[in-house]
Amino acid sequence: MRFRPSGLWRQETFLKLWVSQTFTHAGFQVQFLAVPLVATLLLDATPLQMGILASFGGAPAIVVGVFAGIWIDRRSKRSVLIGAAWGYVLALSVIAVAAWLGFLSIPLLFAVAFALGGLRFIADVTYRAFLPSLVQRTQIIEANSKLEIGRSATEIGGPGFTGVLVQAVSAPFTLAVGAAAYTVSALSLHRMRPQTDVSPRAAALSVRSELREGLAFVLKSPVLRGLVIAAAMVGGSNALLDAVGLLYLVRRLELTPGLLGLVFSIAGVGWLIGASLAKQTTRRVGLGRSTAASLFLMGAADIIIPLAGGPQPVVLALLSGATFLFGMGLVTYIIGRTSLQQSMTPDHLQGRVNVVLRMAFLGAIPIGALIGGALGETIGLRPTLFVGAGGELLTGVFLLFSAVSAVREPPDVRE
């Protein structure tokens, strides 16, 4: 029987965005594991240095701020995404070349991490602002689910592949593979020809008026306010965990890069299942409640990690179960939060509203990461992991009692 694509798979512009985002996530999977491994294995970083490294993932959000949303709303979002993809290629190449020439250092890695954080901020905000111009509001959940299914494929294969490659050719040179993935992402976008992705209304306003309009829209909406607060809490909690998590797995549980990749790949399986069930889940329990419930799943999963102990097969089984649940919870949270945010925002405000939420999430990363690094050196790695998991559970409680949980379906707001 011949396969006939249906729905969004038949829309050429969405398909090219899907290809671009899938390869962007593939590059990020390599970067996410290989960059910290460069610091841990090659440069022998301390817990505080790992915290600083993780903090640079969100620091650009504080520097760039809401003005990035104005800039994005005034420009072709496709062109911005293309520039970001080539920027990723350049940044990862710097690490590989520096390692090859023998002058790679912690300060240089910090600088590249800051650049990567800035590119991530711009790319994430832009693609989320771009998507509503390509699909109908009634297709938002479907579109986000399909994008996350593509991401799940990279979550499944990326960490295991990266771990094996790090053991075979070292972490810095593994980043060249990540650069290749970002290259494919850029080429897919080059082939896209959307009808329009610049808001005439945004381009006509002054910077001050645009800034005031975007912030006022977020502040007057109880749902968007709740999402902003939750984004900051999730960003800080995750950064706290990320700052010490890899050190705990490598130095306390003695996992090799290959085993690390295997464990992280299991998260991709949970991610795939969560993305595939997102539409049914939101229909059954409501968009807002499924978003809140997902955080309880993430918190419960992260509590398992510091509890893991015993023979290595038992440790691997517990960690695999934890990452599976975390992946399932995280993708449900992302789809719910993003669908709510996109569907409640008029097209001409997409960039600015996306920036506010991404600023809240990424802006909390430096704070959480530095706290995580400091706690890791004072109270120890294991207790710090419990603190981070507790933060995720607290976020779930907050969302459950906020206006977000009352929303069952995404509203249709275009202008």
Nearest 5°: CA angle at 344, between 119 and 364? 40
Paired tokens of 124: 């994430």
Rounded Cα distance between 88 and 142, Å, is 28
From the centroid of its chain, how far is CA 156? 15
Distance CA 2, CA 69 (A): 44
- The whole-number pLDDT of residue 197 equals 56
Task: Give the CB-side neighbour count of residue 348, counting CA atoms within 13 A.
Answer: 12
Do residues 24 and 180 lie in contact, with contact meaning Cβ atoms separated by under 8 Å? no
Task: Identify whether the C-beta of residue 343 lies closer than 8 Å to the C-beta of residue 410.
Answer: yes
Q: What DSSP letter does each residue of 249-312 carry, written as one string?
A: IIIIS---HHHHHHHHHHHHHHHHHHHHHHHHHHHHH-HHHHHHHHHHHHHHHHHHHHH--SSH
Sorted by sequence, the CB contacts under 8 Å of residue 257 that are 6+ apart come out as 33, 37, 41, 162, 163, 164, 166, 167, 171
What is the Cα 347 distance to its own chain's centre? 22
In terms of pTM, does the model score above 0.85? no
Q: Give all strands (DSSP E) within 200-261, no chain letters.
A: none
What pLDDT score does 258 carry? 78
CA 305/CA 127 separation, integer angstroms? 32
Tokens of 283: 């229909």
| pLDDT at residue 66, as a whole number | 60
pLDDT of residue 208: 62
Does 200 fall in a domain? no
Q: Is 63 a domain residue? A: yes
Helix or strand holding residue 81 (H, E): helix 77-101
199: in domain = no
Token pair 């600015």 is at which residue?
352
State the DSSP string of 132-150: GGTS-GGGHHHHHHHHHHH
Confidence (pLDDT) at 251: 83
**Within-domain flag for 154:** yes
Residue 366 to residues 52, 91, 108, 122, 309, Cα–Cα distance (Å): 7, 20, 18, 17, 30
Residue 415 lies in a domain: no
CA angle 34-296-338, nearest 5°?
Answer: 70
- Spatial contact of 175 and 377, defined as CB atoms under 8 Å apart: no
Q: What is the pLDDT of residue 1?
A: 43
Please count the structural domains in the chain.
Answer: 1
Tell me the C-alpha distance between 169 and 55, whole Å: 27
Q: What is the largest CA-CA distance in the chain?
A: 64
Residue 69 belongs to domain spanning: 8-194+206-406
Residue 120 lies in a domain: yes
- The CATH number of the domain holding residue 254 is 1.20.1250.20
Structure confidence at residue 40 (pLDDT):
82
With vertex at residue 371, the alpha carbon angle to CA 271 and CA 303, rounded to the nearest 5 degrees, is 40
Residue 414 domain-assigned? no
Q: How far apart are the first and last CA of the chain?
A: 43
pLDDT of residue 3: 42
According to the model, what pLDDT value does residue 90 have? 94
Query: Which amino acid is located at 29 in the chain?
Result: Q
pLDDT in tens, the chain (415 residues): 444 555 677 788 888 889 999 999 899 888 888 888 888 878 888 888 887 887 777 677 666 666 676 677 777 888 889 999 999 999 999 988 888 888 888 899 999 988 898 888 888 878 887 888 787 777 777 888 888 888 878 877 777 777 777 777 777 788 888 999 999 999 999 888 765 555 555 455 555 666 677 778 888 889 889 999 999 999 999 989 988 888 888 888 888 877 887 888 888 888 888 888 877 888 888 888 988 999 999 999 999 999 988 888 898 999 999 999 998 998 889 888 888 888 888 777 777 787 778 778 877 888 888 899 889 889 988 999 999 999 999 999 999 999 888 887 766 655 4
Give the torsion sign (CA, 72, 149, 272, 154): negative
Name, in order, each residue with C-beta under 8 angstroms of 361's C-beta and a sequence gap of 6 or more.
Answer: 58, 61, 231, 232, 234, 235
> d(Cα 79, Cα 85) in Å, to the nearest integer?
10
411 inside domain: no
Whether the CB-CB separation of 45 and 106 falls below 8 Å is answered with yes
